[in-house]
Structure 1
Amino acid sequence: MLDQSTICAISTSPGVGAIAVIRLSGSDAIAICDKVYESPKTGKSLADQAANTLHFGKIVSANETIDEVVVALFRAPHSFTGEDIIEISCHGSVYIQQRILNVLVENGARLALPGEFTQRAFLNGKMDLSQAEAVADVIASSNAAAHKLAMNQMRGGFSKEIGSLRDQLLHFTAMVELELDFSEEDVEFADRTALRKLTEEIEALLRKLKDSFQLGNAIKNGIPVAIVGETNVGKSTLLNALLNEDRAIVSDIHGTTRDVIEDVVNIRGTAFRFFDTAGIRETEDQIETLGIERSYSKLEQATVVLLVVDTNNPYPLVESRIQHIRERIAPHQTLIIVANKIDSGLRDTIQQIEVMELTDNEKAVFIAAKQKENLEELIDYMSHSINLEEAEQQDVIVTNARHYEILKNAHEAIFRVLNGLDMQITGDFLAQDIRECLHYLAEITGEVGTEEVLGHIFKNFCIGK
């Protein structure tokens, strides 16, 4: 798959800026740049310069100066792609960027495809596939938690975990397959007790990695938070208070919100994806009924459910609404009962909610959304409910859907090995399942793969990276 041509692209964001960076990579990168670069001070060509150096000069075409630039020079194999790389820092005019790009193409370079620089880094062994995918995640990270996870993966944290698993399995695979050469002599080179212990450890680790995807995906794309409750209890007011803007229409008229309003906000370095849902009540309005059905759908998708109740209502009514939502909450979800309007609420209702018996995945917080009272306490509950501490403590958290699917397959394969050991099946069948697990793990790092898979991964990168 490795194309030997020299590629070029604008690596900074599209549009006008103070500075833009144009990148070339390939065996002819330096020679091509030398055709259009002039150094007014030294007169030296870039080919005569040392690696990892900066050079001030100008880009010219047909004796016309296009721009004064700073050129960074990197030589293979000590560069991002493992090839010779030139990075031209020019003024951020769109016209200047396009002129420089055009003269580079005229002199032998070609325009890079999306993600082609990172793809070359992978193909040249500068990083494995999971690290290459993390480059895109670093660029796309929109909050501190997602950035930290992506940086850990890009530095090889996930790769080391997978590599350690493969090394352990490879040793036992060799021993089990050696037995096949001596099948007539009925010997065992692979100690079954040691193999079981190792297999149990690997199964537990694969399960842990697989299960971490729920948290990792939430951190990467925003923790899904559904705001549910009856009509007119303050759901939209709460959303506006959390977003610090008038995103949802607030009215005393029941049934104002008829569809799901979605927005993402970064709170304390973590992205929360809020869904303000239609008020849940009995209605004959067909459009409002559709909105209520969507409310239940978003409730099922949420990691955190904020059930807003109006403390102006009698406690028996509030309790029945809480119980109604409790019946729809899954064990992995956190339910936060948001007792709203405490500035005007009934004292008895507030006191009854305070002494209500809560389960381990339930919390209660008392707020006045309109006055933004106790919002910080609510945010504390939301943050604690998704185990952000786990993201700090756990070395590897899976954020990539492709990795998750592969880990599921690898986990199933290693589970079959455990079952095979229980049934005392022969080494050839054990070896088959172990090899399958090894194959899946190799797919994560790119040690095995197809052009179709690689093409799909890198086409989603931005051009210039």
Structure 2
Amino acid sequence: MISEDTIIASATAPGIGAIAVLRISGVKAISLTDQVFSKDLPTAKTHTIHLGEIKDGDRILDQVLVSLFRGPHSYTGENVVEISCHGSPYIQEQVIQLFLRKGCRMANPGEFTLRAFLNGKLDLSQAEAVADIIASDSEASHKIAMQQMRGGFSSEIQLLRTELLNFASLIELELDFSEEDVEFADREAFLELLNRIEKTLKKLIDSFSLGNVIKNGIPIAIVGKPNVGKSTLLNALLNEERAIVSEIAGTTRDTIEDEITIGGIRFRFIDTAGIRDTGDQIEQIGIKRTFENIEKARVVFFLFEAKELQTHPEELHATIDKVRQKAREQPVLLLANKADAMETEVYKEQLHQLGNSTGMDFLALSALEHTGLDQLKDKLLHLVNTGTLQKNETIVTNSRHYDALLKALAEIQKVQESMEEGISGDLLAIDIRQALYHLGEITGEITTDDLLGNIFANFCIGK
């Protein structure tokens, strides 16, 4: 699959800028650049930078810096040249067209990273992490992508696969001596290994629920009855007038979403239509969407006016029950808004009683006065279980990896069941091979052209 073509593409975003970087990779990268550059490159050392001019015949296109990387000590493992020119789109296009006439071709999306994978500079999960780093828009998503690109996830999978492969080899060896009825693989030690692999796979699979929402933004649904301050709370969290605030009940009839970063993690807040009985068909649709967003959210904020603890306690409990039924396993945080009405010990005691009776965490705040927001953010970080992230544990964010882990776990569990039932080694070997196959899919020991095409088609051109 490794192409002999020399490829070129812009490695910087399109548009006007101070500089642009054009990347060239392939066997002829240095020799082709030498044909149009004013300085001698064939004898230049690797990892050096040269100031000179790019010329099209006698015409000077630009004064540039040429960075030289000789293979295999380069990103792609091939000869690589990076030309830093001025950021004019016209200059970039002229330089690229010049190299195309000299024998380069335009790079396909992700082709530089694909070549890095094919040349053994990165494994497949590390290559995918490159795209995640480029797309990262929060400290948390960047941290996870960096850990994966540096091989944290790969090394964990490689270790499991190596240990499993060693035992598989012994079981395969037993098949060659089947007539002599010998066992080379210690069954007790093998069962301990399977249990350890199962535990690790389950931990990685469980981490996907956190990793996926960190990568895409953690959804938080703000729900409650009309006019309790949901839109005011959204505006306070965003520190801008994002949602319309009105004393008229039912103002928010559809969801309003926006994102902020708290503690290095991106949260997606969803302001929803107020929950109440209504004959308005449009408002009914909005309320239906409210309950749909409760099911999809990672955390639910149930907002209510503090005075409801005394004025409508039964109605408040009934609404909380509706939300809790929809929320299922998602944590629901009870937020008593307009807390300036809760200065008395009676109100505070009633809020504690509400928390105890529902088994939910609670907090008093004032969305209008912006009080209690720091405590709310702290509770939110605690509720999304960021401890795993802080401990630098491996977190799975890629759905392809998640699917492969699920399949590998299913095969490992088959082997465990077969061991308990005393199944013969030849049948054990079949399930072990399948588990090894699925683990190999993650790091790239097992690949197909279609798989690589699907992965690298999502990369930007130039990377």
Paired with 1:286 and 1:316, the residues of 2 have a C-alpha distance of 26
Paired with 1:181 and 1:360, the residues of 2 have a C-alpha distance of 63
Alpha-carbon deviation of 1:356?
A: 3.1
What corresponds to 1:384 in structure 2? 382
The question of whether the paired residues in 2 share the 8 Å contact of 1:335 and 1:361 is answered with: no
Paired with 2:358 and 2:28, the residues of 1 have a C-alpha distance of 63
1:339 aligned to 2:364? Answer: no
What corresponds to 2:74 in structure 1? 79
The question of whether the paired residues in 2 share the 8 Å contact of 1:312 and 1:346 is answered with: no
Alpha-carbon deviation of 1:252?
A: 0.9
Paired with 1:344 and 1:251, the residues of 2 have a C-alpha distance of 20
What corresponds to 2:35 in structure 1? 35
The question of whether the paired residues in 2 share the 8 Å contact of 1:305 and 1:334 is answered with: yes
The question of whether the paired residues in 1 share the 8 Å contact of 2:8 and 2:22 is answered with: yes
Residues 8-54 of structure 1: CA distance to partner in whole angstroms, max 9, x if unpaired? 00101111111110000000001111111113xxxxx1112111000
What corresponds to 2:13 in structure 1? 13
Residues 341-360 of structure 1: CA distance to partner in whole angstroms, max 9, x if unpaired? 11246954443113334499
Paired with 1:55 and 1:359, the residues of 2 have a C-alpha distance of 72
Alpha-carbon deviation of 1:239?
A: 0.8
Paired with 1:173 and 1:57, the residues of 2 have a C-alpha distance of 58
What corresponds to 1:256 in structure 2? 251
What corresponds to 2:399 in structure 1? 401
What corresponds to 2:224 in structure 1? 229
TM-score (norm 1): 0.96
Distance verdict in 2 for CA 1:291–1:435, change over 3 Å: same
Residue type at the aligned position of 1:343: D
1:203 aligned to 2:201? Answer: no
1:98 aligned to 2:93? Answer: yes
Residue type at the aligned position of 2:59: E
The question of whether the paired residues in 2 share the 8 Å contact of 1:311 and 1:346 is answered with: no
Residue type at the aligned position of 1:362: M
What corresponds to 1:42 in structure 2? none
Which stretch of the first structure deviates more once superposed, 397-406 or 180-189?
180-189
Paired with 2:140 and 2:324, the residues of 1 have a C-alpha distance of 30
Paired with 2:47 and 2:440, the residues of 1 have a C-alpha distance of 34
1:325 aligned to 2:323? Answer: yes
Alpha-carbon deviation of 1:324?
A: 2.5
What corresponds to 2:285 in structure 1? 290
1:49 aligned to 2:44? Answer: yes
The question of whether the paired residues in 2 share the 8 Å contact of 1:334 and 1:361 is answered with: no
What corresponds to 1:280 in structure 2? 275
Provide the aligned C-alpha RMSD in A: 1.5
1:184 aligned to 2:142? Answer: no
What corresponds to 2:22 in structure 1? 22
Q: Which residues in structure 2 correspond to 1:411-450 (within 5 Å)?
A: 411-450=409-448
The question of whether the paired residues in 1 share the 8 Å contact of 2:355 and 2:361 is answered with: no
2:340 match: secondary structure? coil
Residue type at the aligned position of 1:427: G
Residues 271-308 of structure 1: CA distance to partner in whole angstroms, max 9, x if unpaired? 00111111111111111111111111111111111111
The question of whether the paired residues in 1 share the 8 Å contact of 2:409 and 2:435 is answered with: yes
Paired with 2:101 and 2:358, the residues of 1 have a C-alpha distance of 66
Alpha-carbon deviation of 1:212?
A: 0.5
What corresponds to 1:458 in structure 2? 456
Residues 89-112 of structure 1: CA distance to partner in whole angstroms, max 9, x if unpaired? 111111111111111111111111
1:135 match: secondary structure? helix
TM-score (norm 2): 0.96
Residue type at the aligned position of 1:254: A
Which stretch of the first structure deviates more once superposed, 179-188 or 236-245?
179-188
What corresponds to 1:214 in structure 2? 209
The question of whether the paired residues in 2 share the 8 Å contact of 1:339 and 1:350 is answered with: no
What corresponds to 1:135 in structure 2? 130
What corresponds to 1:148 in structure 2? 143
Residues 356-404 of structure 1: CA distance to partner in whole angstroms, max 9, x if unpaired? 3449983211111011111000000000111112112143110101000
The question of whether the paired residues in 1 share the 8 Å contact of 2:5 and 2:26 is answered with: yes
Which stretch of the first structure deviates more once superposed, 365-374 or 316-325?
316-325
Q: Which residues in structure 2 correspond to 1:333-372 (within 5 Å)?
A: 333-344=330-341, 347=344, 348-358=346-356, 362-372=360-370
Distance verdict in 2 for CA 1:358–1:148, change over 3 Å: farther
Residues 134-176 of structure 1: CA distance to partner in whole angstroms, max 9, x if unpaired? 0000010000011010000000011100000011001110111
